[in-house]
Amino acid sequence: MGSCTLIASDKTGTLTCNQLSVERVLPADGVALERLARAAVLCNEADLHCRDGDWVGRGDPTDVALLQFARQQGLSRERALLAEPQRNAIPFEPEHRFAASFHAARTGGISVLVKGAPERVLPMCNASPASQRHWLEQAVALAGEGLRVLALAEGRGLEPLGEQATPPEPSGLECLGLLGLMDPLRPGAALAVQRCHEAGIRVWMITGDHPITAAAIARQLGLLQGRDAVVEGRELEQASPRQLQRLVASRCVFARMAPHQKLQLVQAAQRAGHFVAVTGDCVNDAPALRAAQIGIAMGRSGTDVAREAADLVLADDGFASIVAGIEEGRIAYANVRKVIALLVSSGAAEIVLITLAVASGLPLPLLPVQLLWLNLATNGVQDVALAFEPAEGDVLRQRPRPPQEPVFDRLMRQRTVLAALVMGVVGFALYAALLQRGWPLEQARNALLLQMVLFENVQIGNCRLERHSVFSASPLRSPLLLAGTAAAFALHVLMMHSSWGQHLLGTGPLPLQQWLVQLALSLSVLLAVELQKWIQRRGDRGSSPANTPPGC
């Protein structure tokens, strides 16, 4: 999640609440609301029931909204079906963009009720070109308000269909009117999109809605600026591979998209070098979910097929949760790097120390049991606590990590080598100086072991913040790390002053003056790393900003 560079999101249910309601009704001349309500409930696959005083719907949110609209007109699906039993149906498919339901008419014969996209349903109607232009203009006006627009139509006097599996596409219908359905934005969705832009993550909105509806919602979200264009499914269908790559690079809102086109967009983004997260909730989304590096299925509204195809299941279906997951992914990855930096730099310092001692002909500076104590008892407590370090505060204002970038990158290599050399060289200098002053070998090793513990305590402060100074964040913001470090140091001091610790590790008390000298020496690694961080920050300020332009 922390490596994500592009989120291809559904609109309905992820960026919006998926709680539709009929807000605008435009009936045709001479068509009563009851007739529109009848078409809405007969050409419908949802259920609406009263439970504990509340009306609860089950099924597609658009169909549930239509049943709510019909209920307000005093009509229920159950009563309508008793009066006009269903004989056949053409279920809604994103490729067809309409649904039809065939019923035994009260006056005999078969009637058909159709709902769908206006530009798809109106050509099925016996309407003049001028009338069709009028209705399409009305549909565009409703879409400009951010509404999902449905056209309803009816045909009567059809011949019985028999038992044929696939009825023909209806024609010669009467246009009943248009319905505009509102699906409000999810709380926090616009802010989440803004946070993605600040984090250098592009956001796509992919929807089957009208392009003007998609544009209105996208502007509310901050995805479109000025005259930015929306890509339609037919435009994508006709695009050459080169044109497709240009669309992927420059556009972020895609409307009237079929499921196979969503997969096409994901694959094109991956070819462009993006690390893609895709949201989906239905069976048709499964190929895109599998193709994406991070497939995210909807936990509430998603199908079992979508959840099985995905890598993650979103419990609340909200876009803001995806952004929160990216933030947590970046924090977790940063903490992994911090723990690795601490462990590798400490281990490398011990190698430098021993190598210098052997090369100079001195006895081994630390015994095996002392090395084991240093790595397991003291360092082991600290690195576990470091794994729970909170974010540095600007984790979503940094560039996405390139997916191919190794954990042990150039910055970590430089800092690890610097810290290891400082700790190893200063530790060897202390050890050699103590032997030269006539200290017994056991006491010199005891002092050196304390010095390495002090170095580790300082180095864990260096590793807490990768880019910022250790002085920019109070140690109290990491109580677990502070307690772990204090506990590890207290444990070593206990081993220095207890008889069984002295027997096991060869440790012993040191005079106060020696403590002060070694405390001062331990600050050498702090000064070296602080200087390196300062140089790094100056270089970062001279580089280009991490954020992508709005609308991308």
Q: Mark whether 10 is an active-site residue.
A: yes
- The CATH class, in words, for 333-541 is mainly alpha
For residue range 18-62, list pLDDT tens digits in order. Answer: 889 999 999 999 999 999 999 999 999 999 888 877 888 888 889
Residue 524's pLDDT is what? 95
Residue 474's pLDDT is what? 83
Residue 80's pLDDT is what? 93
Bigger pLDDT: 442 or 477? 442
For residue range 116-165, list pLDDT tens digits in order. Answer: 999 999 999 998 999 999 999 999 999 999 999 999 999 987 777 665 56
Residues 314, 127: Cα–Cα separation, whole Å: 45
Q: Is the pLDDT of residue 320 over 60?
A: yes
Bigger pLDDT: 362 or 300? 362
Asked if 344 contacts 416 with a C-beta cutoff of 8 angstroms, the reply is yes
Asked if 277 contacts 292 with a C-beta cutoff of 8 angstroms, the reply is yes
Which backbone phi and psi does 525 adopt, to 5 degrees?
Answer: -70, -30
Q: Is the pLDDT of residue 185 over 80?
A: yes
> CATH assignment of 22-182?
3.40.1110.10
For residue range 186-213, list pLDDT tens digits in order. Answer: 898 999 999 999 889 999 999 988 899 9
Residues 269, 444: Cα–Cα separation, whole Å: 61
Residue 136's pLDDT is what? 94
- The CATH class, in words, for 6-13+186-317 is alpha beta
Residue 477's pLDDT is what? 83
Q: pLDDT band for position 544 (50/70/90)?
A: very low
DSSP state, 254? E
Q: Is the pLDDT of residue 9 over 50?
A: yes
Each as own residue / partner, the long-range contacts of residues 435-439 (CB below 8 Å, 24 or more positions apart, any chain) are 435/362
Q: Cα–Cα distances in Å, from 117 out to 6, 140, 151, 313?
A: 29, 11, 6, 30
Boundaries of every domain in the chain: 6-13+186-317, 22-182, 333-541
Residues 526, 376: Cα–Cα separation, whole Å: 23
Residue 469's pLDDT is what? 86
Residue 551's pLDDT is what? 43
Tokens of 1: 């999640």
How many Cβ atoms are within 10 Å of 135's Cβ, its own excluded? 21
How many Cβ atoms are within 10 Å of 500's Cβ, its own excluded? 9
As a residue count, the chain comes to: 552
Q: What predicted TM-score, i.e. pTM, was given to this entire model?
A: 0.79
- Single out the catalytic residue among 10, 63, 281, 317: 10
Q: Is 227 in a helix, a strand, or coil?
A: coil
Of the chain, the percentage scoring pLDDT greater than 70 comes to 96
Strands (E), 105-197: 110-116, 148-158, 174-182
Tokens of 107: 């006056």
Asked if 161 contacts 115 with a C-beta cutoff of 8 angstroms, the reply is no
Mean pLDDT of 491-496: 92
Ranges 113-127, 160-174, 243-257, 337-351: which has the least confidence: 160-174
